[in-house]
Amino acid sequence: MKITIVTTTIYIPTALEKYCQNARFFGHSDLNFIVIGDKKTPAETRSFCQRMSADHYSCTYLGIEEQREYLERYPALWNHLPFNSIQRRNIGLLKAWQDGADIVITIDDDNWMLNHDFLRLHSIVGQSPELPAYETSSGWFNVCSVLDEASGIPFYHRGFPRGERWKEKETFTCVSPIKRRVAVNAGLWLDDPDIDAMTRLERPIVVRGMSASAPSSFALQPGTWSPFNSQNTALIRDVIPAYFLSPCVGRYDDIWPSYIVVRIAQHLDDVIAYGHPLLRQKRNEHILWKDLDNERVGMLLTDEFCAALRSLTLRGNSYHECYGEVVEKLPSAWPAGPKWTDAMISARAGLLEGMAIWHSVFEQQTTASLANLALAQHASVSPAEALALQSR
C-alpha cells in the first residue's frame, strides 16, 4: 500500500525528519513525501528534500517552476491557484493521486510527531474496522468534546457552524458500534488545537490529551456531521477527486471541502473517523486579527452552505461522480442572498469556479484512462505501458 505525505511550506520543513524516523522505526517501507514550495519558500528547502531522499524516503520537492511545468495540461488550475497561498497543497494532492498513492496524508509543517505508529494509525482509512460512532439528534457532533483541555474550557473545531454551537444540552447523543469503510481519518492535536481566531482572541486553549472516557478512534454515524481540516488528515485515494481546497474562501479553504466529502461519504455509506494519531502542534506565528478577517465570510455562510449540501440528492457511485453532481447542483441550492456582502458573493463565486476546475481535471484523467485502457486492449502494449503513456 503506497502512502504519500503531502505538505506545503514557506520554511525548511525539518519536522519531516521525525516522520521518517517514525516510519523507519515501525518498519514502513512504501512511503514517500511531496513538498510544495511557494515564492516565500527558502532555496535551501530543495537541498533539504534531496537529502531526505538520499537518507530516508523519497521526498519530491516542487518549486514554482516545477509546478508550472506539472500543470501545463491544466492551465485553468494553474491560473486559479495564487502564489503565497497554502492552497497550493492541491498540486501535491493531485500529484500524489496521479503517482498512484493509495492513502494521502496531509500535514502542516508545524505538526510534530509523537512516539506512536503514525502510519499504522492513519491506515485505518480504506478499512472497515468496528468503531464506536457518535450520533446526535441535531445532526452535529463537536469532536473537540473528546479532548481534555487544561482548564476544562469547552471549545469547537475551526469551521463548526456558529448556529450549531452550545446546543449539547438540547441534543441527544448516543454511541454505537459501526463497521463501514473509513474514507477519512482526522487525527487530533495536543497543545494548540485547530480552533477559530475568535476563540483564540478570547482565551488560550491548551489540549493535554484525549478525555479518559473517550475512545482513541471513533466515527460519526452517517447523517451526523463535523468538519475536518487538512493537517494530520488521511484520505483514501477515492476521495481526492472530491477534495479541493479553495483559495477564495479564506481560512475555510479546507473546512468547506470537508463538508462536501462528509456529504458524499454519507451517500456512499462511508464514515469519517477522528482521534489518533495525535500530533503536537507548535503553531507558526499568526496575526489573529488577520485570521479573523479571513474567517469572517466562512462564519457567516457555513450554516446555509451545509444546509444546501444536505438538501442535495446524489446518485453517483464514486466520489468523483458525486462531486460532479455537487458542482452541478450546488449553485441553485445555495444562491447568493439579497443581503450578502460583496465579499460573500465573491467567495461563493470563487469556490464554485474552483470546484468546477478541479472536477474537470479529474474528468480529463478519466477520459485519458479510458483511452489508454482501450489502447492496451487493442494494441501490443500492457496496461502498465498504457498508463505510462498517460503520464507523458
pLDDT in tens, 135-147: 999 999 999 999 9
| One domain for residues 116 and 104 | no
pTM of the model: 0.92
| 265 & 346 share domain | yes
Q: What is the pLDDT of residue 392?
A: 44
Is 192 found in the same domain as 231?
yes
CB 144 within 8 A of CB 186: no
Beta bridge pairs of residue 182: 271
- Fill in the amino acid letter for 238: D
Q: What is the mean pLDDT of residues 251-257?
A: 97
Q: Are residues 244 and 366 in the same domain?
A: yes
Asked if residue 187 and residue 115 are part of one domain, the reply reads yes
Q: What is the mean pLDDT of residues 212-234?
A: 95
Quick one: pLDDT at residue 376?
56
Arithmetic mean of pLDDT, 52-71: 94
3-state helix, strand, coil in the chain (%, to 5): 45, 20, 35
Q: Domain check: are 255 and 369 in the same one?
A: yes
Residue 223, sorted as left (phi over 0), alpha (psi -120 to 50) or beta, turns out to be left
103 and 115 housed in the same domain: no
Average pLDDT over residues 114-119: 94
Domain region containing 82? 1-109
Q: Does residue 1 share a domain with residue 46? A: yes
- Does residue 325 share a domain with residue 241? yes
Domain count, the chain: 2
Q: What percent of the chain has pLDDT over 70?
A: 93
Q: What is the mean pLDDT of residues 41-53?
A: 95
In a shared domain, residues 291 and 142 = yes
The mean of the pLDDT values for the chain is: 92
Domain endpoint, select from 109, 137, 152: 109
Chosen domain end from 109, 143, 173: 109
Q: Which residues pair with 281 in a beta bridge?
A: 111, 191
Residues 99, 84: one domain? yes
pLDDT tier at 264, thresholds 50, 70, 90: very high
Q: Are residues 173 and 286 in the same domain?
A: yes
> Is it the case that residue 152 has pLDDT exceeding 90?
yes
**Domain end residue (candidates: 74, 109, 144):** 109
